[in-house]
Amino acid sequence: VGIKTLQYRITSKPTNPGNRVLLLVTGNEDVMQPSKDVCWSLTIWMVNLAFMVLTVQAQDCSKPMTLEGSNMVLTSTQETFADGTETHFQCAFGYVSAGGSRSVTCTSGVWREVINGQYHLSGIVFGAKAVALCDTGYTLVGSGVRNCLVGGWDGRVPVCEVVKCGKPPTIVNGGPVIPPEDEYSYGSVVEYSCENDYTLVGTRSIACDKDGEFQPAPPECKKVSCPTPFVENGVRTEGRLPPYTHKSFVTYKCKDGYKMEGMASLTCEIEGCPSDYNKAPYYYYYYYYYYYYYYYYRYYYSYYYKENHKPSYTLVGSGVRNCLVGGWDGRVPVCEVVKCGKPPTIVNGGPVIPPEDEYSYGSVVEYSCENDYTLVGTRSIACDKDGEFQPAPPECRMVSCPTPVVENGVRTEGRLPPYTHKSFVTYKCKDGYKMEGMASLTCEIEGWSAPDPICKGHAGKIAGGVIGGL
């Protein structure tokens, strides 16, 4: 590269671009030249005079060489090429292309092909083998093995072609958001949506994988509906009228003189009726709150009865009365409804309606969260037969996700940070890069729905003329 003031000798042969090579000042010795029977090449870029250390820098390339007697010629007449320049070969007269790449790119002083793969070498001397392996998502076209002969590496440079998937799977009552293409490259993402009145069940996005198949399975579009709840002696206080579709919400209360068992609020879920639908709500006439079971008592004039009560009520007074000569002794017991105290408090949220000091069995308390907080868990709790609220109250979390790091990628859809619950963002790679992973991410309670995608460069892994930059 025009270093005229020093005579120097290389003490070891570099095997990869980027290695450091120690230069020793020797006076007037000639620069060592590589032997013709060794398959390696060397380019020197800059000498650090402090310790005579060679450092790889961006550098122009000399005219790429072709093997003597080869059947291809360079299209350009230039003697040097700037870093990043691409040049092309063409077949000699009377020959046609048998595959492989026709172009090479100057990268840091070395001619490299833009080909999405790499060689695994057994050595760099006569008789060595170079086995071509493609990157994930690419498949080999041509022979994958080349041999080091007297004149250099035999054979042609193979090509790693991107894996392709066919048309994405079709789904009933829905389909891809963007009209489908005939084929998709590895890593391409297809998003689905459903027709009106249908609910998407499953993963919204699928991607073309390294085996040429879309993964995971596409979603389904279901017509979600729930039957009208049958609540005898109850009236609807909140929610819409039937028909009830996905996420429809309805709340009931009992008429005067009736007490509720079960949950007052019901939500229509994907699977139709909620799991406790057959249990809720059930009503009974609470004034008739005790029953008598008679047992024979051993004394000739005595009987007694024991009072049983509903699980939601607790006995006040003695539960046993004896039949004596004058009639039944004792007083009539009372079955009082079970009570719960104030509902549990939660951080950054609380009951929708200001809490009372106590609640009767079956009473329901619903929670909500403050702005910017997300409710995690069951929205409603109820006073149970043991005088406790069940299940555990929900939590209010500040859900946030870090800004995805997608080097060499740009955002094409979704909001700017900060990213809160259900924020949605989509990326694509810059020209010259291919994506691995999911292009679309959704901020869920536990973080992003998938790892950050990676944009991998697909230039400069398989060399043309020389292999691996050697």
* pLDDT tens per residue, range 88-108: 777 776 666 654 456 677 766
Mean pLDDT of 17-44: 38
Q: Counting every residue, how long is the chain?
A: 470
Q: Please indicate, yes or no, whether residues 410 and 420 belong to a single structural domain of this protein.
A: yes
Q: Please indicate, yes or no, whether residues 413 and 369 belong to a single structural domain of this protein.
A: no
**Rounded Cα gap, residues 119 and 158, in angstroms:** 10
On whether residue 294 sits in a domain, the answer given is no
Q: Show which of 179, 199, 223 is a domain's final residue.
A: 223
Q: Please indicate, yes or no, whether residues 180 and 218 belong to a single structural domain of this protein.
A: yes
**Rounded Cα gap, residues 234 and 451, in angstroms:** 49
pTM, to two decimals:
0.39
Looking at per-residue pLDDT, the higher value among 451 and 325 belongs to 451
Q: Please give the tally of structural domains in the chain.
A: 3
The string of DSSP letters for 234-288 reads EEEEEEPPSSEETT-EEEEEEPTTEEEES-SEEE-BTTBS-TTGGGSSEEEETT-
On whether residue 386 sits in a domain, the answer given is yes
The whole-number pLDDT of residue 314 equals 62
**Rounded Cα gap, residues 128 and 414, in angstroms:** 52
CATH code where residue 367 lies = 2.10.70.10
On whether residue 113 sits in a domain, the answer given is no
Q: Show which of 199, 223, 247 is a domain's final residue.
A: 223
On whether residue 49 sits in a domain, the answer given is no
Q: Please indicate, yes or no, whether residues 204 and 169 belong to a single structural domain of this protein.
A: yes
Contacts of residue 27, defined as CB under 8 A and 6 or more positions apart, other chains included, come to 7
Q: Is the peptide bond before 219 cis (omega within 30 degrees of 0)?
A: no
Count the Cβ atoms, other than its own, within 10 Å of residue 56. 19
On whether residue 417 sits in a domain, the answer given is yes
Measured CA to CA in angstroms, residue 26 lies from 1, 254, 259, 323 at distances of 19, 103, 103, 126
Q: Please indicate, yes or no, whether residues 417 and 442 belong to a single structural domain of this protein.
A: yes
On whether residue 188 sits in a domain, the answer given is yes
- Judged against a pLDDT cut of 70, whether residue 453 lies above it is answered with yes
Q: Please indicate, yes or no, whether residues 183 and 197 belong to a single structural domain of this protein.
A: yes
**Rounded Cα gap, residues 304 and 427, in angstroms:** 80
Q: What percent of the chain has pLDDT over 90?
A: 30
Could you tell me the pLDDT band of residue 343, with boundaries at 50, 70 and 90?
very high
On whether residue 331 sits in a domain, the answer given is no
Looking at per-residue pLDDT, the higher value among 418 and 52 belongs to 418
Could you tell me the pLDDT band of residue 78, with boundaries at 50, 70 and 90?
confident
Q: Please indicate, yes or no, whether residues 407 and 437 belong to a single structural domain of this protein.
A: yes
Q: Write out the residue range of the structural domain in which residue 186 sits.
A: 164-223
The whole-number pLDDT of residue 119 equals 80
On whether residue 144 sits in a domain, the answer given is no
